[in-house]
Every structure is written in C-alpha cells, then in structure tokens.
Amino acid sequence: MIESDGILTRFMPLHPKKIDLSLGRIERLLGELGSPERRLPPTIHVAGTNGKGSTIAFMRAILEAAGRRVHVYTSPYLVRFHERIRLAAASGGRLVDDNRLAVAFDACERANNGHPISIFEITTAAAFKLFSETPADYLLLEVGLGGRYDATNVIERPLATAVTPISMDHIEFLGDTLEKIAFEKAGIFKAGVPAIVGPQPRAALETLEREGRRVGAPLFLAGEDFRFHEEHGRLVYEDSHGLIDLPLPRLAGRHQQMNAATAIAVLRETVPELEAEAFELGLTAAEWPARLQRLGTGRVPELAPRGADIWLDGGHNEGGGRVLAEAMADFEEKSSRPLVLVCGMLTTKDTGAFLASFKGLAQELIAVPITSNSTGRTAADVAGHATDVGLHAASCDSVEAALRFLAAREWRMPPRILITGSLYLAGEVLALNGTPPE
C-alpha cells in the first residue's frame, strides 16, 4: 500500500531548495514521458483562492448525473494522497488505486532521472499520465498555486477556464495585494477559451477583466452574464440560455450557492446539451469533504458534548473566515446554540484575519496544534491571535483533548462546534473520526 508520507519522503530529495514559480521543470518531465498533457480529454481548468474544490465537486456531480465519465485532479489531500486523483468510470469515478499510482510514480521517477523537481510538479505529471491512459469525457483540473506558473498550466487549450473568489493567501508567492494575486490567477486564461468568473472583490475583478481582454478570452461574469439567488428554498439561476429553478445545493452555506452557480455557468457554456435534470441531481448529490461537513457519526461525536452540532471546515484565510462566519450566523438564526471554535492554523496563514469575522459570534475558541505539518502554529500562538481579535480563547494539546474538555462541562444547550483553520487539521480530524474521503 502506498502511504502519503512515503510519497513525500520518496520525492523530497528532488525538491528544489527554493521554489521559483515556472513551467520549465514539468515541461521537461512531461516531454520525457511522451507529452501526456496533449492526450487528455476536454479539460476545465479552475483557479481561485476559495471554492475551487467545491465548484469542481458540483461540476463532477452534474456531469456524472448526465452519464459522463469524469477525471478529477484536486489538491491538497486530507488523509491519503490518492484523494487528489480521481479516475473516470462509467458508473462514477474512483480514487486511483495503489498499483496504478505506484506504476505512474515509477515512470515519472525514471523519466525525471534525478533532476530537481517539486513534489507538486512530479505528482501532477503522474496524474496527467494516468488521465491520458484512462478513457474519459472530461477532466476537471484544479490549480495548485496561483495559475500562471502552476504546474497544471501546461494545458495549451482547455475547454474552459474558471476563477472562483479571490482572497489574500499565499502572498509570499503570489503578491501582497488582490490585484497581484488576481493577475497570477488570470494566467490560466487562453485566447478564444471561455473564462467563467465567479463573484469577486472589485480590485480582483478589474484585474481579471483586463487580463481576459488582453489575451482574448471571452469572459462570462457573475452578476452580469449569469445571476443566481435563493427564492423559497430554491436556487434560481439565469443566463443567456434562460432561467432554471433548482434545489439548493447539498453542500451547506450560502457560499456554496455561489460555487454551484459558477459550476452551472461553466457547464452551460461548454456542454449546452445537458438537461435540467442533470443539474438538479448534481446539486443534491455533490460531496466535498471538510467543507462545512457535518460530523454526525464516528469518533468525534462520541468525544464531544452529548447532542453537539459538529461541523468541519478547512477554511484558513480571510475570505474563508468571512463565509464561514456567515454560515454560522445563518445556522444561529435557524437554531440558536452557543458556538465554539476548535482551531489550528499554519504559521503561513494570517490567523487574525481569518478569525476576525467570528468576533461577537463565537462564544469561545479552543486552540489546538496541527501535528501533520511542520509549519503548524502552537496552540498558545493561535489562542494569542484569537485574543487579539477579541475572542475568548483557551488551548488544548489536541482536538481529542479539546472535545473532552468541552464534554466535561455542563451545557444549558448542546453547543455548535466548528473545527476549522486548516485542511491539514481537517485531515487529522477525519482520520480521528474514522471517515476518510472515498
């Protein structure tokens, strides 16, 4: 069995000492492999800061509801590396199995012949090799970092591109303003290829529009070329092809309506023959772990206070904090409970910016460390940032300890617990719960 940690260890010696964002390394490796990126099915390339994976999850569910075979490439993984590569099948895709993954890695390692290459680049090459060898109708391809020099941006002419909401993140690589970050995301735009742009901050939108015009990419903008709103418990979507009345997305939170609408816009522009039934089935079937995922069974609910309403989300930047706080406020309006955050974050993330939206909403925060990543903040550090933004904070040495700490109290009403702050933490929680993604 291939273990995720073993993969990282195996390729770490090849990892460049300093990552310079470029396409040269992966282009060389793909050339040695016989250019599998030129033998991929029609590809929808998705960039953005928040919502990429959810938007892809909606597209996959809709396409599979219509009987299409769909490859999916996403990152990062939560529990096992295999989650990043989903191979198409007639009855719905399956995560890549151990044997096929091992063969692809061996081929990439031999072809690379000891040259410097990042872990993301060599694993992306392996994914392209697997996708090129397996029949499919579509490939849904998520950008790893930025867009312009991301390893996935070797696709010369995708079927479409999409940009989900942009927020401040990865500023050490992408720049310290929304305009700079948007410029890098817009690097996936291609001449003549439809570019669907989800709702954006004004500064980011202006940059995306300018870059789209510069390269000659037809732009389809949220609020202009497609619109959506909730009405009577339904999602009403409208574009130049007409209006469709759909069920609300299965994924929780108002932000998922936005992601669903972006997914619908992409598919209405690129696969116009899809029937309304596929959209209906897809919205209600979509799954995307650790994105406002309710934990109702497993080890975590057993450790928590009896009757607690437990949610897991890997949000970790300012934009993610904002939409999570909005979702918690919506939950509070429908069913009032004390809100407790269990939070762990990386040192590379702006902890204060993420937590600021919860002031006045969360009763308290229990900070925990992240053990699966060496750049995790200490629990005391996270608690300090929480205090700085006006949250009452304490710390525990693990999620399990935090849940036990909360369970030892008397609660007038069982709390609502949001475990959040990092996808690495979310992966640890799913492993603890015994419910890894499938």
Q: CATH number of the domain that 320 lies in? A: 3.90.190.20
Domain boundary among 285, 318, 334: 285
pLDDT digits (tens, 9 = 90+) for 271-291: 999 999 999 999 999 999 999
Domain boundary among 244, 263, 285: 285
Q: Structure tokens of 425?
A: 């933490």
- Same domain flag for 248 and 305: no
Which pLDDT score, from 0 to 100, does residue 174 have? 85
Domains of the chain: total: 2
**3-class secondary structure, 222:** strand
Which pLDDT score, from 0 to 100, does residue 21 have? 73
- Same domain flag for 331 and 212: no
**What are the E-state strand segments in 248-379?**
293-294, 309-312, 339-343, 364-367
How many whole angstroms separate alpha carbon 369 and alpha carbon 115?
35
- CATH code of the domain covering residue 279: 3.40.1190.10
Residue 398 has pLDDT above 70, yes or no: yes
Percent of the chain with pLDDT over 70: 97
- Same domain flag for 281 and 427: no
- Same domain flag for 107 and 222: yes
H-type alpha helices, 274-378: 276-285, 299-303, 318-334, 351-355
How many whole angstroms separate alpha carbon 36 and alpha carbon 28?
12
> What's 47-83 look like in SS3?
ECCCCHHHHHHHHHHHHHHCCCCEEEECCCCCCCHHH
pTM: 0.94
How many whole angstroms separate alpha carbon 224 and alpha carbon 261?
13
Does residue 428 lie within any of the structural domains?
yes
- Same domain flag for 27 and 124: yes
Residue 140 has pLDDT above 80, yes or no: yes
Kindly report the backbone phi and psi dihedral angles of residue 222, in degrees, each rounded to the nearest multiple of 5, phi listed first: -60, 135
- Same domain flag for 281 and 299: no
Which pLDDT score, from 0 to 100, does residue 1 have? 40
Which pLDDT score, from 0 to 100, does residue 17 have? 59
Q: Give bridge partners of residue 72 from the DSSP assignment.
A: 86, 140
Does residue 302 lie within any of the structural domains?
yes
How many whole angstroms separate alpha carbon 124 and alpha carbon 345?
26
- Same domain flag for 107 and 184: yes
Q: What residue numbers bound the domain in which 136 lies?
A: 4-285
Does residue 438 lie within any of the structural domains?
no
Residue 375 to residues 14, 227, 289, 324, 369: CA-CA distances in angstroms?
20, 40, 23, 23, 10
- Residue 201 burial by Cβ neighbours in a 10 Å radius (0-12, 13-18, 19+): middle
Reference 386, options 414, 419, 349, 358; nearest CA is 358
Does residue 232 lie within any of the structural domains?
yes
* CA torsion through residues 255, 260, 263, 265, sign: negative
- Same domain flag for 272 and 314: no
pLDDT digits (tens, 9 = 90+) for 187-222: 999 999 999 999 999 999 999 999 999 999 999 999
- Same domain flag for 28 and 146: yes
pLDDT digits (tens, 9 = 90+) for 330-373: 999 999 999 999 999 999 999 999 999 999 999 999 999 999 88
Decide: 377 and 351 in contact? Cβ < 8 Å.
yes
- Same domain flag for 251 and 300: no
Domain boundary among 256, 285, 314: 285
Does residue 112 lie within any of the structural domains?
yes
- Same domain flag for 24 and 41: yes
